[in-house]
Chains A and B, each alone.
Chain A
Amino acid sequence: MKVAILKYNAGNIRSVSFALERIGITPVISDDKDEILSADKIIFPGVGEASTAMNYLKEHNLDRFICSLKQPVLGICLGMQLMCAYSEEGETDCLGIFNKRVKHFVPPPENNKYGREGDSKVPQIGWNNIYDLKSKLFEGLKEKEFQYFVHGYYVELGENTIATTNYIKQYSSALQKDNFYAVQFHPEKSAQAGEQILKNFMKL
């Protein structure tokens, strides 16, 4: 099986590559369209800022290309947010695969003192659980399995939601539509539970 990681100007590509190697897959890392089209599975990773990343994708004509892919595609973190219609981060028009807006976390006003009980810090950094799991992507995982998150923006719940997480409010920690899958957390850094998700994606 050939797996391609889409190369662009957003970090963590190496982490994703190492994680795939740990489950016995040697991916190609490329921004060459023919190379990507010849892959069976495509990963669209990302750590960074939405408008900078989106500008890069447009300049390299990768925006429409990503939308036209027919193989299973897995967006990770910023990759997932870029697959939505719009992000409040940098007021950015994104790819529009999922008809959702990406919003900034705003702690409830009563949390005016940081560090109190409850969720008050933005971004969310650390391990949180995913539940209401509705996809083959999560086969073999228990409800409320832990995944590692680092993000200051989130996607609301909706018809494409296949996993839910609670931080400040309940939101979509994973989305799916047709061949497009996306996770807000980092399976490549989420121990065995994350590895299971990557293995499941390879079986789709």
Chain B
Amino acid sequence: MLTKRIIPCLDIQNGRTVKGVHFENLHDAGDPVELAIRYCKEGADELVFLDITATNEKRKILTELVNRVAKNINIPFTVGGGVSSIEDVSILLNSGADKVSINSAALKNPNLIKDLSHQFGSQCVVLGIDVKFEDKDWHVYLNGGRTKTDRLAIEWAKQAADLGAGEILLTSMDSDGTKEGFSIEIIRQISEAVNIPVIASGGAGTKQHFVDVFKTGKADAALAASVFHFKEIEIHDLKLYLKENDILVRL
């Protein structure tokens, strides 16, 4: 039977892993490839590399990193951050990425999803959606959660799935960084609304939070950064805990 996936996320700046609180006070946290190898050994099912300050000038540093990751890592990985064109995606895939995550650019031009899935296949198109609960509904945010849009989360997720997105990476701005648990309700609503896998992100603090996001939130995968990075939760221990709670995992 298909298992639920545990996905550590690595924040990247200038080709290095960085860590901070709410993207502020960033400090160097080492070589991403070394950290990625550690996660693989601990039993991560996939990895996500998010370039948090991606600009065109720095794209070359990112592609070199992607190439190094692809040579050294034997599990699938996604690369995201500032991806806005077919050319961006082509460069990242040719450097060895298995999937590319797009976010703001797709919201501004939804047909980008269609073009990318036609050209490269749905399996490599991960749509990032950042959401926040406001005025009694879940709204989609742009630019890493800084700009509110008039789109509603479920409607956008459905449209993206129809356009050919392969997976949805759903981040709740309300939960992100709180360590108080995932935003279960919107995760469940979107997972039930679309026929593609949903990766839940934002709020992981305890092993029980992962049980909740799979059992109640119906997520297909769960993503977290700091709890893994700072070894507050060890991936193998987490998977044993999930198994004890009757959740299928790869051990």
Q: Are A and B interaction partners?
A: yes
List A88-146 residues whose CB lies under 8 Å from chain B. 113-116, 119-129, 146
Chain B, 99-137, contact with A by CB distance < 8 Å: what is the 0/1 string? 000000000000000000000111110000000000000
Do residues B1 and A148 form an inter-chain contact, with CB atoms below 8 A?
no
Check B198 against A125 for contact (C-beta < 8 Å): no
Q: List 20 A-B contacts (CB under 8 A).
A: A11-B121, A14-B96, A15-B70, A18-B96, A114-B191, A114-B195, A121-B195, A124-B2, A125-B197, A127-B3, A127-B45, A146-B3, A148-B75, A186-B76, A189-B74, A189-B75, A189-B76, A191-B40, A192-B74, A194-B74
A14-B94 contact, Cβ under 8 Å, with A124-B2, A126-B220, A166-B1: yes
Would you call A128 and B167 a contact (CB within 8 A)? no
B207 is an interface residue with CB less than 8 A from chain A: no
Instruction: Determine the distance from Cα of A176 to Cα of B45 in the docked complex, in whole angstroms.
Output: 28
| Chain B residues whose C-beta falls within 8 Å of the C-beta of A31 in the assembled complex | none
The contact string, 1 if C-beta is below 8 Å from chain B, for chain A 1-32, is: 00000000001101100110110000000000
Asked if A116 contacts B3 (CB within 8 A), the reply is: no
Question: A115–B203 Cα gap in the complex (Å)?
Answer: 21
Give every chain B residue within 8 A of A125 (Cβ-Cβ): 123, 166-167, 197, 220
| In contact, B5 and A126 (Cβ under 8 angstroms) | yes
Whether A123 pairs with B98 at a CB distance below 8 angstroms is no
Q: Which of B5, B71, B74, B188 has the most CB of A within 10 A?
A: B74
> Would A123 and B122 count as touching, CB distance under 8 A?
yes
Q: How large is the interface on B (under 10, 10 to 19, 20 to 34, 35 or more residues)?
A: 35 or more
Is A49 part of the binding interface, using a Cβ–Cβ cutoff of 8 Å? yes
Chain B residues lying within 8 Å of A49, measured Cβ to Cβ, are 121
**A126 engages B71 (CB within 8 Å):** no
Residues of A177-191 at the interface with B, using a CB-CB cut-off of 8 Å, are: 186, 188-191
Q: Does A85 contact B (CB under 8 A)?
A: no
Q: Chain A contacts of B5 at CB under 8 A?
A: 126-127
In the complex, whether B192 has a CB less than 8 A from a CB of chain A is: yes
Chain A residues with CB under 8 Å of B195's CB are 114, 120-122
| Nearest 9 interchain pairs by C-beta | A115-B191, A115-B218, A127-B250, A115-B192, A146-B250, A150-B123, A128-B2, A189-B76, A127-B3
The answer to whether B98 touches A167, judged by C-beta atoms less than 8 angstroms apart, is no
Interface check B204, CB cutoff 8 A: no
B72 to chain A: which residues have CB within 8 Å?
22
Chain B residues with CB under 8 Å of A47's CB are 121, 123-124
Report the minimum CB–CB distance from A198 to chain B (whole Å): 10
